[in-house]
């Protein structure tokens, strides 16, 4: 399984606090990788480090074997990655159509037919769930080879979230790499190739979803015997 | 009355010259602010620098006007904008610095550019700045002279504003630009090179600034101080447009230019005449005050100025305190002429402390502290000269105390607007109040003539007076300390770090803000009054709004929440000016201010980081030696 993107010994600091203490993790190409962990475990920071949204104080970020640690966020995006943050993922002063056109021209109505009637509305007049659709839609419109999503299901109706997860697996089947962060393992993500469980800024568990056991992410982490 | 109407039309046409320059300045400020999030306080200096460069090329080096203008406006000015972005503002963006630090950097650029202008071209005013467009009369419809330069200026303003609007709305670059304006971080994540767009914004802002300078210079004498201040007053235009709307900026600029011209006809009799004249000459200042005081949609929030998460380093802060004590006691052994300069140190320290209280502790940006210092000085002078109706001439101590007591409630002038404003909106109100006080109160005939200030009732010799100053500074420091420790200190810190959170935790934020601004006004007034007593006279220029900007920058550079830093800065500023040339201190502060992007927390932050650094470890040789010594002693 080729590795699409990888962190090697990555440390990230926010001021005096260190959020990631030397994290090593790899995400296979053309598959779905899920990052699990409680609040403050470093899930979002891992995604941000992959996207180039935070400076890395030590370690390397590798993309298809190439060191991209020093590459700016916009260059990484231009090189085919897209990141959907958990909140404020839309440009509020632009219309939905402009939001989508900003990234690319791939049609997104297949995944979010709801957006078709909202194209001329300003994004900040939409509801939270609709904004989340625009945010994910904007990422999909760019036809990214690497898609990074932070809790993409947040604020979406369960049916829409399940449809979104289905879409992510479709994308992976078409050769794209998907990395998403969630608080807890969701049934619709059982087909993921790899799960990394983060705990207090370290990787506590890496493996297949089936190895996690019924207790979920925390249980998997406990089974590894790591307590920090 | 056809004669009156004709006069009105002629005046309006004349007012369009200043009006279109003001509109252009507003367009530049609005565009720069929208694209970069920074209110370009250095615009006046950029305008002046470009005007000087054009004069140099055309008058001194005999370039033809067209290529010289093209070089100045299309090459030099945009290049300066890009340079400012790269060297000064990009490092600030990189670490998400707040509004206040961006303003400090802008003030630094302003001071440095003016310093360079003085260095290269001197302070002698030039009356021969070349006009871009000749003032040929094109036509005389109805007997009114329609001049080519007026028409061209008007066309340029409307064309630029319209062009910017069209680009934003209908081009891919415009959509990307709006995305950056909306959410810079997200735009970068969407693959947009936000830095390049900011650089373009700075280049455009610098180009308009240059155009404003080149257009205004022929209308007045070209000197390093007048033109930048005029351009600064045109900030009213951008403020009225709420730093967003280009049509409002254009309309306000033209409207104010015409209004100023028409007001020359207004000649009320008696006591009102000086007031009318003051309003007419300072119409842009009045407009700035009105525009800033009108309600804003919503204030912008920015992070506080204190070094976040920094534990006060014990080694660093005690060293700073010792240095303060030594520097303050040193002048007691000075020769008389040196001691005279040192008299300004405690006075300036008190003014800087007022900024520490308002901005460093309270997190409220205040650019107008010079106004309060001036009020303290003017009040003391008026009371001592017996110019206040119903009050006999007082001696120094009661006059000083009364002046300070009268200024404290005036802290509400900026405190009250601060209740509903934050960040940039508040900074503009405080700057407007300071400017209005300077122009409409201090610069008036009653304040500039016939005032006597003496040290009646205080020790007449400088040494005794200096001791009195030290006692008052000590009292000020105690007040500042009481605001920084215990429950009030915690409430202030909470308000600075997170206003909504502080409210939710039971802190009475509006009351606290009023208190902070009143304490700040009192401290500044005390400092101002001591300045007047030290110099034995009231000097309106000592309380100029630009001085207020410089003091604000000084405090932020020294470390906004460091009282010891403020006292040290006062000693160093006064020492630099007295020991070298006047103005050197401003250039030093300016240079440090432009580097604020690489200096989080100012010099106090740097000192803290150095003090918190772990003690240096042993080299391998040292370890070997230590082992050797341990073995031998066994």
Residue A190 falls within a domain, yes or no? yes
The alpha carbon of residue A136 is apart from the nearest alpha carbon of chain B, in Å, by 12
Residue A218 lies in a domain: yes
B209-218 b/e (C-beta count within 10 Å ≥ 16 → b): bbbbbbbbbb
Q: In this structure, are A203 and A158 located in the same domain?
A: yes
A73 in contact with B, Cβ within 8 Å: yes
Write out the DSSP string of B547-560.
HHHHHHHHHHHHHT
Q: How many Cβ atoms from other residues are within 10 Å of residue B9's Cβ?
A: 14
Q: What stretches in chain B show pLDDT beneath 70? A: 1-2, 297-317, 614-616
Whether residue A50 lies inside any domain: the answer is: yes
* Residue B609: closest C-alpha in chain A: A16
Output the pLDDT for position B587: 85
Contact flag B186-A15 (C-beta cutoff 8 Å): no
Question: Residue A225: which pLDDT band, with cuts at 50, 70 and 90?
Answer: very low
Q: Domain of A138?
A: 86-143
Mean pLDDT of A198-222: 72
Closest alpha carbon to A63 in A79, A74, A78: A79
Q: Are residues A133 and A179 in the same domain?
A: no
Instruction: State whether residue A101 sits within 8 Å of chain B by CB.
Output: yes
Chain position carrying tokens 């031998």 = B632
Shared domain for A26 and A75, answered yes or no, is yes
Closest CA to B20 of B219, B134, B155, B133: B155
The domains of chain B, with CATH numbers, are: 2-132+148-268+277-293 (1.10.3470), 322-612 (1.10.3470)
Residue with tokens 């996690």: A212
The answer to the question of residue A169 being in a domain is yes
Nearest to A188, CA basis, from A160, A212, A207: A160
Collect all residues with Cβ–Cβ distance below 8 Å to B81 and sequence separation of at least 6. Answer: B46, B199, B202, B203, B204, B205, B206, B207
Q: Which residue of A has its CA nearest to B184?
A: A91
Give every CB contact of residue A97 below 8 A, 6+ residues apart in sequence: A119, A120
Q: Which pLDDT score is estimated for B311? A: 43
Q: How many Å from the N-terminal Cα to the C-terminal Cα in chain B?
A: 113
CB within 8 A of B325, min separation 6: which ones? none
CB B372 within 8 A of CB B552: no
CB contact under 8 A, A77 and B191: yes
A73 and A132 in a common domain? no
The residue behind tokens 């006692």 is: B471
Picking from A174, A175, A169, the residue whose alpha carbon sits closest to that of residue A188 is: A169
Q: Which residues of B touch A53 (CB under 8 A)?
A: 185, 188-189
Q: Are A117 and A172 in the same domain? A: no
Give the largest CA-CA distance in chain A.
53
Coil vs helix vs strand at A35: strand
- Predicted confidence at residue B381, as pLDDT, reads 92
CB contact under 8 Å between A91 and B179, yes or no, is yes
Residues A33 and A128 in one domain: no
User: What is the arithmetic mean of pLDDT over A114-143?
Assistant: 88
In terms of C-beta density within 10 A (0-12 exposed, 13-18 middle, 19 or more buried), how is residue A162 classed?
middle
d(CA B261, CA B221): 19
Q: Is residue A125 part of a domain?
A: yes
What span, in angstroms and rounded, lies between the C-alpha atoms of B534 and B350? 14
**Position A228 in a domain:** no
Whether B231 and B47 have beta carbons less than 8 Å apart is answered as yes
How many whole angstroms separate alpha carbon B279 and alpha carbon A102? 49
Instruction: Clarify whether residues A52 and A64 are in a common domain.
Output: yes
Mean pLDDT value across residues A151-166: 84
Q: What are phi and psi of B29, to 5 degrees?
A: -65, -45
* Domain identity same for A100 and A118: yes
pLDDT digits (tens, 9 = 90+) for A61-90: 999 989 999 898 999 998 889 999 988 889
Domain-located, residue A94: yes
Q: Which residue has the tokens 């957006």?
A: A115
pLDDT at residue B345, rounded to an integer: 92
What per-residue confidence (pLDDT) applies to A76? Answer: 92
**Domain identity same for A73 and A103:** no
Q: Which of A15, A94, A101 sits opposite B309 (nearest CB)?
A: A15
Query: Could you count the other beta carbons within 10 Å of the beta carbon of residue B254?
Result: 23
Per the CB < 8 Å rule, is A98 touching B175? yes
Would you say how long chain B is, in residues?
634
For residues A132 and A151, state if they share a domain: no
Q: Do A73 and B188 touch (CB under 8 A)?
A: yes
- If one counts every other C-beta atom within 10 angstroms of the C-beta of residue B270, the result is 6
Specify whether the CB–CB gap between B523 and B353 falls below 8 A. yes
Q: Please give the Cα distance from B102 to B85 (Å, whole number).
A: 11
Number of domains in chain A: 2
From its phi and psi, is residue A206 left (phi > 0), alpha (psi between -120 and 50) or beta? beta
Of A124, A143, A162, the last residue of a domain is A143
ipTM field: 0.87
Q: Based on the domain organization, do A31 and A127 belong to the same domain?
A: no
Beta partners for A194?
Answer: A33
Same structural domain, A125 and A206 = no
Nearest CA distance, B205 vs chain A (angstrom):
22
Say whether A195 sits in a helix, a strand or coil.
strand
Nearest to B194 among A74, A102, A103 (CB): A74
A95 DSSP β-pair partners: A122
Distance of CA A170 to the CA centre of its chain: 16
B306: alpha, beta or left, given left = phi > 0 and alpha = psi -120 to 50? Answer: beta
Nearest to A66 by CA among A143, A148, A4, A144: A4
- Band of residue A222 on the pLDDT scale cut at 50, 70, 90: very low
Which chain B residues have a beta carbon less than 8 Å from that of A98?
175, 178
A15 and chain B: CB distance < 8 Å anywhere?
yes
pLDDT higher than threshold 60 for residue A44: yes
Which positions in chain B touch A148 (Cβ < 8 Å)? Answer: none
The predicted pLDDT at position B64 comes to 95
Distance CA B554, CA B573 (A): 9
What is the reported pLDDT for B306? 44
pLDDT of residue B503: 87
- Interface residue A70 vs chain B (CB under 8 A): no
Q: Element (H or E) spanning A123, and its range?
A: none
Contacts of B185 in chain A (CB under 8 A): 53
Q: Is residue A191 part of a domain?
A: yes
| CATH code for position A193 | 3.40.50.300
Query: Is pLDDT of A220 > 50?
Result: no
Last residue of a domain, one of A143, A171, A189: A143
């Amino acid at each position: 399984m080729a590795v699409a993107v990888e962190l090697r010994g990555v440390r990230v600091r926010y001021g005096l606090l260190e959020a990631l203490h030397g994290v090593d993790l790899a995400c296979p190409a053309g598959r779905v990788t899920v990052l699990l962990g409680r609040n403050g475990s470093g899930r979002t920071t891992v995604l941000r480090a992959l996207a180039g949204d935070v400076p890395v104080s030590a370690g390397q970020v590798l993309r298809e074997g190439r060191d991209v640690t020093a590459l700016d966020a916009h260059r990484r995006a231009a090189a085919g990655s897209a990141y959907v943050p958990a909140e404020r993922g839309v440009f509020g002063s632009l219309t939905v159509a402009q939001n989508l056109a900003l990234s690319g021209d791939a049609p997104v109505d297949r995944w979010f037919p709801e957006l078709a009637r909202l194209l001329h509305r300003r994004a900040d007049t939409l509801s939270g769930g609709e904004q989340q659709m625009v945010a994910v839609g904007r990422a999909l419109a760019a036809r990214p080879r690497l898609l990074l999503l932070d809790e993409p299901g947040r604020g979406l109706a369960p049916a829409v979230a399940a449809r979104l997860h289905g879409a992510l697996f479709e994308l992976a089947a078409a050769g794209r790499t998907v990395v998403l962060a969630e608080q807890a393992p969701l049934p619709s993500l059982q087909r993921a190739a790899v799960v990394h469980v983060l705990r207090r800024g370290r990787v506590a568990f890496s493996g297949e979803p089936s190895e996690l056991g019924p207790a979920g992410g925390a249980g998997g982490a406990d089974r590894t015997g790591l307590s920090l | 009355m056809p004669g009156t109407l004709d006069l009105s039309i002629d005046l309006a046409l004349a007012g369009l010259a200043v009006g279109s320059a003001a509109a252009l300045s507003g367009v530049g400020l609005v565009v720069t602010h929208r694209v970069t999030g920074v209110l370009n306080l250095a615009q006046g200096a950029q305008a002046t620098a470009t005007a000087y460069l054009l004069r140099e090329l055309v008058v001194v080096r005999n370039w033809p006007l067209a290529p010289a203008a093209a070089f100045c406006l299309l090459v030099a000015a945009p290049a300066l904008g890009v340079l400012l972005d790269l060297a000064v503002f990009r490092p600030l963006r990189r670490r998400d610095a707040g509004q206040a630090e961006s303003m400090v950097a802008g003030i630094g650029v302003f001071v440095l550019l003016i310093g360079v202008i003085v260095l290269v071209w001197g302070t002698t005013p030039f009356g021969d700045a070349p006009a871009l467009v000749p003032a040929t009369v094109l036509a005389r419809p109805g007997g009114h002279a329609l001049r080519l330069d007026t028409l061209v200026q008007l066309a340029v303003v409307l064309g630029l504003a319209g062009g910017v609007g069209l680009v934003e709305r209908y081009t891919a670059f415009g959509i990307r630009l709006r995305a950056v304006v909306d959410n810079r971080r997200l735009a970068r994540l969407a693959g947009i090179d936000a830095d390049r767009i900011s650089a373009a914004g700075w280049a455009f802002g610098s180009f308009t600034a240059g155009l404003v300078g080149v257009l205004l210079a022929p209308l007045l004498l070209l000197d390093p101080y007048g033109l930048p201040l005029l351009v600064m007053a045109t900030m009213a235009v951008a403020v009225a447009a709420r730093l967003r709307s280009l049509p409002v900026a254009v309309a306000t600029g033209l409207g104010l230019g015409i209004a100023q011209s028409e007001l020359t006809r207004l000649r009320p009799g008696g006591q009102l005449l000086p007031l009318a004249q003051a309003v007419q000459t300072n119409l842009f200042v009045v407009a700035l005050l009105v525009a800033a005081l009108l309600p804003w949609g919503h204030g912008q929030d920015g992070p506080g100025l204190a070094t976040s998460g920094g534990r006060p380093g014990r080694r660093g802060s005690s060293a700073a305190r010792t240095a303060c004590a030594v520097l303050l006691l040193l002048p007691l052994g000075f020769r008389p002429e040196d001691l005279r300069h040192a008299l300004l140190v405690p006075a300036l320290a008190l003014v800087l402390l007022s900024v520490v209280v308002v901005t460093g502790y309270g997190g409220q940006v205040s650019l107008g502290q010079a106004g309060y210092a001036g009020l303290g000085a003017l009040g003391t002078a008026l009371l001592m000269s017996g110019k206040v109706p119903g009050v006999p001439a007082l001696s120094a101590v009661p006059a000083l105390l009364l002046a300070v007591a009268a200024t404290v409630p005036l802290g509400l002038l900026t405190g009250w607007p601060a209740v509903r404003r934050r960040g940039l909106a508040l900074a503009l109100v405080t700057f407007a109040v300071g400017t209005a006080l300077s122009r409409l109160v201090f610069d008036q005939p009653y304040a500039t003539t016939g005032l006597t200030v003496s040290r009646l009732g205080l020790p007449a010799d400088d040494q005794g007076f200096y001791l009195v100053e030290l006692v008052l500074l000590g009292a000020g420091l105690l007040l500042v300390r009481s605001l920084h420790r215990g429950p009030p200190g915690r409430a202030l810190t909470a308000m600075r770090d997170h206003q909504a959170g502080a409210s939710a935790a039971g802190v009475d934020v509006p009351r606290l803000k009023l208190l902070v601004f009143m304490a700040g006004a009192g401290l500044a007034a005390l400092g101002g009054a001591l300045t007047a007593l030290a110099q034995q006279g009231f000097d309106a220029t000592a309380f100029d709004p630009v001085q207020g900007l410089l003091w604000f920058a000084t405090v932020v550079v020294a470390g906004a929440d460091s009282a010891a830093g403020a006292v040290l800065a006062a000693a160093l500023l006064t020492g630099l000016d007295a020991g070298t040339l006047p103005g050197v201190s401003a250039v030093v502060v300016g240079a440090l201010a432009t580097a604020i992007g690489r200096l989080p927390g100012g010099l106090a932050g740097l000192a803290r980081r150095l003090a918190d650094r772990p003690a240096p470890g042993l080299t391998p040789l040292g370890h070997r030696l230590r082992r050797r010594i341990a073995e031998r002693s066994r």
